[in-house]
């Protein structure tokens, strides 16, 4: 029996299989063959050490002149670590190679292989150490190493071996224990032994897009003879990645359209009509259009799956409320799922307020046909919780707002017709699925709302089974937010002007937020609530190594100490403001370590104006809505992601007064961090910022896959750069699925789809 795509890796990799699984999670031959080279080196361009530049990637053929192992105490881990210092020479010059190993057996193995007189190919990034050029942990291939030949004979053999290598050398992502060259050898063997390369692209699709076969692509990506071959291979493989992903999404959408849902056509003079009559403002044209779209979806006998995106303040909540009322008018219930307790409480308050007596159904003074709005969060007392649960189960509560507490098994609905998920980017797909499962035999309609604008291709890839609607305009009369970067590195005294500005605003009757990256007071980590795993950008980067070099505002700091100043914390900052610059104002704190009641009462006090200045973590990022708050000061703003800053500042300027956002930073304004802040200050276009944000993240992060250390499955496709490929693949996949939904005529594609389902990637694609 020959080697197949799904064969176990050990059949070809032997003992390296375990290392490959450990390092990359690979189990099959197919996994290995989709481990594409990270870099290609033209053999002709192998460097001669003539003119090295810092950070340049080089590959050299050189001879080892000296090789010496040193052991040193490893301060971070304890115990010893090892360093192999090697000097290699070409005919022109010498270069230092330094290899670091934590484990002795690896270090010893390295010292035994890289010995004086041996010749090898070394590849890495040029660094500088003690005035000499150096490569740190370069990828290394020694020639004729086994034979132990040294001297002239060895050098000759090495040269011959080098001559025999292909024109383009491939450098693979590798680890200390598993060298690029070893991986390359295993790949070569697998390519030779493989019986048949499955081809996921239907022939007409492949031909129509001018792509090479899978077999050709695989050989060319791993063993190209020319850059043209490498390019053709990548083009094909990239398309294939998009095509398989899109096939899954198109299939899923087709299946959803085949599911049954209870139509919710509403009724005349119901809650929705009466609510519309009493709205205190005119809906924007966008709100009207999107509202109609959604009501249309709800009336259909198939489940709605719609993504509603719109800037902070664009009025998504009102649109969602209309949809929820329509469902109640049709005899069903609606659930609104919020990512944090603060936001759930806020939604509960604002829905109740918007509905007025319509939300007091069955109560004295309430509307006879009105409904009730329930709240369900994790920290509620047992009695309140039990009573809400009963009302949800009996149907007395038509609208229920909650956090993930809504997802627990105990919560049973009388007739759940609609699930609204607010701020999607913080919600896992599994959580949405859990709530859908509560509608027993019929699938509820689902509306997902997000304020983080999602570029089209990301939407197509991540939410490809959802229809999307976008609210582009903000309600009229909204004054724009002015954003300014305050660089404290050069002007430490400016911080005093910032506090003076806050005093002025409060003097004029307004309120302010001061946002800090940390809770502080000894707690270096923010709570899980504030830093959900879904958004890697949320967790402040407090690691002193990763953080930018910051200098304290006052230079009384102990000189010579290299310890970076920790980012601002809520507790210290509030205490400092109360004791000094804002001592005459009412300052309050809000963060995830407070109890739910404290959070609730603080928010309430702030929203009725009893608190002037709210010092908070990103807990206020989403949804908090206090129209009288006009100024936001963000401390150590460089610690936040671009989209997050945009979200945060959306909290001010919600009323008729113009908003002001001050981004304070101790980072150099010329540094990349400083430039990011300048970009935020320079535009209020959320889409542009979201793109910038995505570009700075790794692809897997964009897809939300790496937070749990999982692989995104996309190697060559970038959802940011390859929009055209995704669009073309989407169209091709739609055509194929339209004719053959379950892919009976496309067994290779069906298998690739099944593999993707099984792989962890399916976790984030899976929504059903």
Convert residues 639-668 into a mask of x (bound to ligand ADP by CB under 6 A) and - (unbound): ---------------x--------------
Question: Is residue 317 a contact point for ligand ADP (CB under 6 A)?
Answer: yes
Burial of 112 (0-12, 13-18, 19+ CB in 10 A): exposed
Question: Is residue 316 a contact point for ligand ADP (CB under 6 A)?
Answer: yes
- To ligand ADP, the closest distance from the beta carbon of 474 in angstroms equals 8
Binds 199: which of ligand ADP, Mg ion, none (CB < 5-8 Å by kind): none
Q: How far is CA 75 from CA 72, 81, 146, in A?
A: 9, 9, 36
Question: Is residue 283 a contact point for ligand ADP (CB under 6 A)?
Answer: yes
How many other β-carbons are positioned within 10 Å of the β-carbon of residue 3?
18
Spatial contact of 263 and 743, defined as CB atoms under 8 Å apart: no
- To ligand ADP, the closest distance from the beta carbon of 373 in angstroms equals 16
**Whose Cβ is closer to ligand ADP: residue 471's or residue 733's?**
471
Provide the 3-class DSSP secondary structure of residue 588: strand
704 vs 711: CA distance, rounded Å: 10
Q: Which stretch binds ligand ADP (CB under 6 A): 14-22, 160-168, 283-291, 360-368?
A: 283-291
Where in 337-376 is the site for Mg ion (CB under 5 A)?
A: none
Going by C-alpha positions, the residue among 34, 236, 172 that lies closest to residue 756 is 34
Of the CA atoms within 13 Å of residue 479, those in its CB half-sphere come to 16
Q: Contacting ligand ADP (CB under 6 A), which of 200, 262, 284, 345? A: 284
Q: Contacting ligand ADP (CB under 6 A), which of 124, 224, 310, 487? A: 310
Q: Contacting ligand ADP (CB under 6 A), which of 318, 611, 635, 669? A: 318
Q: What b/e sequence results for 687-703 when a residue is b if at least 16 CB atoms lie within 10 Å of its CB, and e otherwise?
A: bbbbbbbbeebebbbbb
Binds 356: which of ligand ADP, Mg ion, none (CB < 5-8 Å by kind): none
- To Mg ion, the closest distance from the beta carbon of 316 in angstroms equals 5
Where in 583-642 is the site for Mg ion (CB under 5 A)?
A: 623
H-state helical runs in 263-335: 271-278, 285-298, 316-329
**Whose Cβ is closer to ligand ADP: residue 119's or residue 317's?**
317
Q: Which stretch binds ligand ADP (CB under 6 A): 230-238, 315-323, 360-368, 684-692?
A: 315-323
**Whose Cβ is closer to ligand ADP: residue 304's or residue 338's?**
338
Residue 244 corresponds to which tokens in the numbers above?
């398989």
Q: Which stretch binds ligand ADP (CB under 6 A): 14-22, 174-182, 276-284, 753-761?
A: 276-284
Q: What is the 3-state secondary structure (H, E, C) of 36-66?
A: CCCEEEEHHHCCCCCCCCCCCEEEEEEEEEE
122 Cβ contact partners less than 8 Å away, ≥ 6 residues apart: 59, 60, 62, 88, 95, 97, 135, 138, 139, 140
**Whose Cβ is closer to Mg ion: residue 478's or residue 503's?**
478
Q: Contacting ligand ADP (CB under 6 A), which of 195, 227, 281, 292? A: 281
Convert residues 482-521 into a mask of x (bound to ligand ADP by CB under 6 A) and - (unbound): ----------------------------------------
Burial of 395 (0-12, 13-18, 19+ CB in 10 A): middle
Question: Is residue 650 a contact point for Mg ion (CB under 5 A)?
Answer: no
Q: Which runs of E-coded beta strand occur in 488-569?
A: 511-515
- To ligand ADP, the closest distance from the beta carbon of 35 in angstroms equals 43
- Backbone φ and ψ of 118, nearest 5°: -80, 160
- Backbone φ and ψ of 409, nearest 5°: -60, -30
164 Cβ contact partners less than 8 Å away, ≥ 6 residues apart: none
Going by C-alpha positions, the residue among 248, 246, 239, 240 that lies closest to residue 725 is 239
Residue for token pair 């790949």: 187
Binds 312: which of ligand ADP, Mg ion, none (CB < 5-8 Å by kind): ligand ADP
Of the CA atoms within 13 Å of residue 173, those in its CB half-sphere come to 10
- To Mg ion, the closest distance from the beta carbon of 400 in angstroms equals 17
Binds 434: which of Mg ion, ligand ADP, none (CB < 5-8 Å by kind): none
757 vs 540: CA distance, rounded Å: 33
The size of the chain, in residues, is 768
Residue for token pair 């002149």: 65
- Backbone φ and ψ of 365, nearest 5°: 85, -5
- To Mg ion, the closest distance from the beta carbon of 505 in angstroms equals 24
Give, for 316, the enclosing helix (H) or strand (E).
helix 316-329
Q: Which stretch binds ligand ADP (CB under 6 A): 33-41, 68-76, 102-110, 311-319?
A: 311-319
Binds 283: which of Mg ion, ligand ADP, none (CB < 5-8 Å by kind): ligand ADP
Q: Which stretch binds Mg ion (CB under 5 A): 48-56, 316-324, 380-388, 665-673?
A: 316-324
**Whose Cβ is closer to ligand ADP: residue 475's or residue 566's?**
475
Residue 392 corresponds to which tokens in the numbers above?
């949800």
Question: Is residue 287 a contact point for ligand ADP (CB under 6 A)?
Answer: yes
**Whose Cβ is closer to ligand ADP: residue 311's or residue 668's?**
311
Residue for token pair 């670091």: 100
31 vs 372: CA distance, rounded Å: 53
Convert residues 444-463 into a mask of x (bound to ligand ADP by CB under 6 A) and - (unbound): -------x------------
Q: Contacting ligand ADP (CB under 6 A), which of 315, 532, 548, 659? A: 315
359 vs 349: CA distance, rounded Å: 11
- To Mg ion, the closest distance from the beta carbon of 311 in angstroms equals 10
Question: Is residue 72 a contact point for ligand ADP (CB under 6 A)?
Answer: no
Spatial contact of 143 and 157, defined as CB atoms under 8 Å apart: yes
644 Cβ contact partners less than 8 Å away, ≥ 6 residues apart: 535, 537, 538, 618, 621
Question: Is residue 139 a contact point for ligand ADP (CB under 6 A)?
Answer: no
Q: Which stretch binds ligand ADP (CB under 6 A): 105-113, 161-169, 269-277, 307-315?
A: 307-315
Question: Is residue 564 a contact point for ligand ADP (CB under 6 A)?
Answer: no
Provide the 3-class DSSP secondary structure of residue 88: strand
405 vs 337: CA distance, rounded Å: 9
Q: How many helices (H) and strands (E) does the chain have?
A: 26, 21
Question: Is residue 154 a contact point for Mg ion (CB under 5 A)?
Answer: no
Binds 284: which of ligand ADP, Mg ion, none (CB < 5-8 Å by kind): ligand ADP
Q: Which stretch binds ligand ADP (CB under 6 A): 8-16, 310-318, 531-539, 551-559?
A: 310-318
**Between β-strands 132-136 and 119-129, what pairing exists: parallel, antiparallel or unpaired?**
antiparallel
- To Mg ion, the closest distance from the beta carbon of 426 in angstroms equals 12
- To Mg ion, the closest distance from the beta carbon of 215 in angstroms equals 51
How many chain residues are in contact with Mg ion, going by CB under 5 A? 2
Q: Contacting ligand ADP (CB under 6 A), which of 378, 428, 475, 581? A: 475
676 vs 582: CA distance, rounded Å: 30
181 vs 138: CA distance, rounded Å: 11
Going by C-alpha positions, the residue among 349, 365, 345 that lies closest to residue 357 is 365
Q: Which stretch binds ligand ADP (CB under 6 A): 198-206, 308-316, 632-640, 713-721?
A: 308-316
**Whose Cβ is closer to ligand ADP: residue 303's or residue 339's?**
339
**Whose Cβ is closer to ligand ADP: residue 283's or residue 692's?**
283
169 vs 121: CA distance, rounded Å: 10
**Whose Cβ is closer to ligand ADP: residue 653's or residue 713's?**
653
Give me the residues that bind Mg ion (CB under 5 A), please.
Answer: 317, 623
Contact positions toward ligand ADP, by CB under 6 A?
A: 281-284, 287, 310, 312-318, 451, 475, 625, 654
């Amino acid at each position: 029996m020959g080697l197949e795509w799904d064969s176990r890796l050990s059949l070809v990799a032997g003992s390296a299989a375990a290392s490959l699984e450990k390092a990359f999670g690979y189990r099959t031959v197919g996994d290995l063959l989709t481990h594409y080279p990270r870099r290609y080196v033209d053999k002709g361009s192998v460097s001669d050490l003539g003119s090295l530049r810092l950070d340049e990637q080089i590959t050299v053929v050189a001879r080892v002149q000296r090789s010496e192992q040193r052991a040193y105490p490893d301060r971070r881990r304890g115990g010893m670590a090892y360093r192999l210092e090697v000097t290699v020479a070409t005919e022109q010059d010498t270069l230092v190679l330094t290899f670091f190993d934590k484990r002795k057996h690896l270090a010893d193995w390295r010292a035994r292989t890289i010995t004086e007189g041996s010749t090898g190919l070394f590849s890495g990034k040029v660094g500088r150490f003690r005035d000499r050029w150096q490569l740190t942990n370069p990828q290394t291939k020694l020639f004729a190493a086994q034979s132990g030949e040294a001297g002239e004979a060895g050098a000759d053999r090495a040269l011959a071996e080098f001559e025999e290598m292909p024109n383009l050398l491939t450098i693979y992502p590798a680890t200390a224990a598993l060298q690029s060259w070893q991986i390359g050898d295993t790949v070569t063997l697998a390519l030779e032994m493989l019986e048949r390369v499955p081809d996921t692209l239907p022939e007409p699709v492949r031909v129509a897009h001018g792509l090479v076969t899978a077999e050709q692509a695989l050989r060319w990506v791993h063993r190209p003879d020319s850059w043209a071959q490498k390019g053709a291979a990548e083009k094909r493989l990239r398309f294939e990645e998009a095509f398989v992903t899109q096939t899954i999404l198109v299939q899923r959408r087709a299946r959803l359209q085949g599911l049954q849902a209870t139509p919710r056509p509403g009724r005349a003079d119901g809650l929705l009509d009466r609510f519309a009559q009493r709205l205190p403002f005119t809906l924007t044209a966008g709100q009207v259009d999107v509202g109609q779209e959604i009501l249309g979806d709800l009336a259909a006998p198939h489940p709605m799956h719609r993504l509603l995106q719109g800037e902070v303040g664009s009025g998504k909540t009102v649109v969602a409320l209309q949809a929820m009322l329509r469902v109640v008018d049709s005899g069903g219930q609606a659930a609104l799922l919020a990512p944090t307790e603060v936001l759930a409480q806020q939604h509960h308050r604002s829905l109740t307020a918007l509905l007025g007596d319509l939300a007091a159904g069955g109560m004295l003074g309430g509307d006879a046909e009105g409904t009730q709005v329930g709240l369900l969060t994790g920290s509620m007392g047992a009695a309140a919780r039990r009573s809400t649960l009963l009302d949800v189960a009996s149907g007395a509560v038509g609208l229920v707002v909650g956090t993930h507490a809504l997802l627990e098994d105990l919560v049973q609905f009388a007739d759940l017709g609609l699930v609204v998920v607010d701020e999607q980017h913080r919600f896992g797909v599994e959580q949405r699925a859990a709530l859908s499962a509560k509608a027993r035999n019929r699938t509820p309609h689902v509306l997902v709302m997000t304020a983080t604008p999602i570029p089209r291709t990301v939407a197509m890839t991540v939410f490809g089974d959802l229809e999307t609607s976008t609210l582009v305009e903000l309600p009229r009369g909204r004054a724009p937010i002015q954003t300014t970067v305050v660089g404290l590195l050069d002007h430490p005294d400016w911080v005093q002007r910032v506090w003076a500005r806050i005093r002025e605003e409060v003097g004029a009757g307004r309120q302010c937020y001061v946002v800090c990256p940390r809770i502080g007071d000894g707690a270096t980590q923010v709570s899980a609530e504030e830093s959900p795993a879904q958004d890697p950008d949320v967790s402040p980067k407090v690691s002193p190594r990763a953080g930018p070099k910051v200098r304290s505002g006052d230079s009384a700091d102990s000189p010579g100490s290299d310890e970076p100043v920790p980012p601002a914390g809520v507790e210290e900052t509030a205490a400092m403001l109360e004791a000094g610059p804002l001592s005459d104002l009412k300052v309050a704190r809000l963060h995830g370590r407070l109890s739910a009641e404290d959070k609730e009462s603080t928010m309430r006090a702030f929203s009725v104006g009893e608190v002037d200045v709210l010092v908070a973590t990103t807990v206020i990022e989403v949804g908090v809505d206090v129209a009288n708050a006009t100024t936001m000061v963000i401390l150590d703003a460089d610690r936040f992601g671009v989209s997050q800053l945009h979200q945060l500042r959306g909290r001010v300027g919600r009323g008729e007064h113009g908003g002001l956002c001050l981004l304070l930073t101790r980072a150099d304004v010329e540094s990349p961090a400083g430039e990011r802040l300048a970009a935020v200050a320079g535009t209020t276009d959320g889409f542009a910022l979201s793109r910038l944000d995505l570009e700075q993240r790794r692809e897997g992060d964009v897809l939300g896959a790496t937070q749990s250390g999982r692989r995104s499955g996309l190697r060559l496709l970038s959802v940011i750069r390859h929009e055209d490929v995704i669009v073309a693949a989407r169209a091709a996949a739609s055509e194929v699925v339209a004719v053959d939904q379950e892919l009976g005529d496309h067994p290779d594609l069906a298998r690739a789809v099944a593999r993707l389902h099984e792989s962890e990637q399916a976790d984030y694609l899976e929504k059903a």
